[in-house]
Structures are given as structure tokens and as C-alpha cells.
């Protein structure tokens, strides 16, 4: 999949109706954040990984618009289904998706970020949300690397290129890169990086690693098609 073209003839920014009187203030529509006129390309990126690995946090840390979050409280019904041992203070879980948007390449590229729910029972939803994605950033937690395998298997089956970012939770164990690659069954060319999903700069670095890999992957595919 290539980047989708975008054209916008107007310079649109956040705005409200300045002509509204004081009596209309409470009834005014909330501000709308439009895609800037500088954007010439856009791409859909999915963020995947196991339950509680930090997908919602990462999208929230980088999104330049208010992120859309579809979370519900964790209830007793999840007992024995969702493993909270690594995240004992987690009180909500994504039941549909997260959504955010950021701009890169000097504002010319818009990345639309879709966070997939972590539980494997949502796999049919994963497949729908991943359709048309240019690539995926897979978050992993060294306390439970096996939790990433379902997402990695889905991406491999769908032929969606991806990079893996180890979310460095406080107190989580560290391993040599070779051991991590072996545990996650990664191909030699698949990027493996680290991030702190709470930190915007760190999360952006992980996304830049992915986009650079996608650019190289696309260039290699074009060369192969011309042989």
C-alpha cells in the first residue's frame, strides 16, 4: 500500500465561531482540529501488542489531536481471562481501539494511529482495524514476551511490515538483543528498538524507526518488482 494523496485548498486551523455572542458561548460547538494544508501524504499505522503493554499510553503521548479512547472498566467478569499480574493497578482496558494523529516530515506526512486491543479474543477486530495499514509498531514487555506472539502472528499472516519496540517498564528485566529477537522470532531485518510509552520523544523515536523501515521496505519492493 502506498501513501494516500491529500489535498486541501484552505489553510484550516482550530477555530470557533468568533462572532458568537456571550449568550451563545455555552452552545458553541467544540473546536475542530483539521488536517493542516501542508499535508500531502497520509498513512495508516496500527499499534499492537499484548494486554497492558502501553498502546493507549503511547498513542496518547504522541497524538497532536485529542486521542480517541474506547476504554471500559475492568470488572470481575475478566477474572481468569485478563492477566493483571504485571499491571496490578490497571483499572481500564481498550475494548475497541485507540486513535490519534501526528505529523512528520515537516508537516507533510500525517500518520493516523490505530491502537488494537490487547486481548486475543478481539482478533476479528484486529483483522478489521489492520486492513489497509501501511505498517505496525508492536509494543512488547520483557516481563511477558509471549503476550506479543498473537499480534506478531497476525501481522506475519497479513503480510504487514512491522517494527518492535520494547516498552521499558520500571523494574522490568533486560535481555541482550539477540535473546529478545530469538524469543520474539524476529527476522534479521525487522527493527527492534526501545521506548518509554509515557514519554513523547521516546515514543516518537520508535515511530520514526518504523517509518524509516517502511520506506526502505517499500523501496526494496519496488526494485524487486522491476526486475
Per residue of the chain (227 residues), what is the pLDDT tens digit? 333 333 333 333 333 333 344 454 455 555 556 777 888 889 999 999 988 899 999 999 999 988 776 554 544 444 444 454 555 554 555 445 788 999 888 888 899 999 888 566 656 676 777 888 999 999 999 999 999 998 899 899 989 999 999 999 999 999 999 999 999 999 999 999 999 999 999 999 999 999 999 998 777 766 666 66
Q: What is the DSSP string of 166-208?
A: EE--TT-----HHHHHHHHT--TTS-EEEE-TT-HHHHHHHHH
What backbone torsions phi and psi does residue 69 show, to the nearest 5 degrees?
A: -125, 130
DSSP string, 78-89: GTTTS--SS-TT
Q: Show Cβ contacts of residue 104 under 8 Å, excluding neighbours closer than 6 positions.
A: 111, 207, 208, 211
pLDDT of residue 218: 75
Of residues 74, 53, 47, the one with CA closest to residue 196: 53
CA 76 – CA 97 distance, rounded (Å): 22
Give the start-to-end residue ranges of the domains of the chain. 41-72+93-225
Ramachandran region of residue 14, left (φ > 0), alpha (ψ -120 to 50) or beta?
Answer: beta
Cell for 177? Answer: 538483543
Spatial distance between the Cα atoms of 30 and 130, rounded to a whole number of angstroms: 30
Give the 3-state secondary structure of residue 35: coil
In the prediction, which pLDDT does 127 show?
A: 78
pLDDT, residue 6, reads: 33
Q: What is the pTM of this model?
A: 0.72
pLDDT at 118: 57
Residue among 108, 115, 149, 119 nearest 133 (CA): 115
Domain at 41-72+93-225, CATH homologous superfamily: P-loop containing nucleotide triphosphate hydrolases (3.40.50.300)
Amino acid at each position: 500500500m502506498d501513501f494516500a494523496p491529500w489535498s486541501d485548498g484552505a489553510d484550516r486551523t482550530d477555530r470557533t465561531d468568533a462572532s458568537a455572542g456571550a449568550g451563545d458561548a455555552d452552545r458553541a460547538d467544540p473546536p475542530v482540529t483539521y488536517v493542516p494544508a501542508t499535508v500531502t501524504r497520509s498513512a495508516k499505522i496500527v499499534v499492537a501488542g499484548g494486554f497492558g503493554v502501553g498502546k493507549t499510553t503511547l498513542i496518547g503521548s504522541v497524538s497532536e489531536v485529542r486521542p480517541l479512547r474506547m476504554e471500559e472498566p475492568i470488572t470481575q467478569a475478566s477474572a481468569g481471562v485478563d492477566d493483571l499480574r504485571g499491571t496490578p493497578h490497571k483499572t481500564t482496558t481498550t475494548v475497541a481501539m485507540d486513535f490519534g494523529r501526528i505529523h512528520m516530515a515537516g508537516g507533510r506526512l500525517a500518520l493516523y494511529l490505530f491502537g488494537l486491543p490487547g486481548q486475543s479474543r478481539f482478533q476479528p477486530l484486529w483483522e478489521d482495524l489492520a486492513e489497509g495499514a501501511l505498517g505496525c509498531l508492536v509494543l512488547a514487555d520483557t516481563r511477558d514476551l509471549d503476550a506479543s506472539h498473537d499480534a506478531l502472528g497476525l501481522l506475519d499472516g497479513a503480510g504487514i511490515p512491522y517494527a518492535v519496540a520494547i516498552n521499558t517498564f520500571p523494574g522490568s528485566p533486560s535481555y541482550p538483543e539477540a535473546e529478545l529477537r530469538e524469543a520474539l522470532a524476529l527476522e534479521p531485518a525487522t527493527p527492534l528498538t526501545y521506548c518509554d510509552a509515557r514519554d513523547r520523544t521516546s515514543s516518537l523515536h520508535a515511530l520514526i524507526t518504523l517509518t524509516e523501515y517502511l520506506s526502505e521496505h517499500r523501496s526494496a519492493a519496488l526494485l524487486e518488482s522491476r526486475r
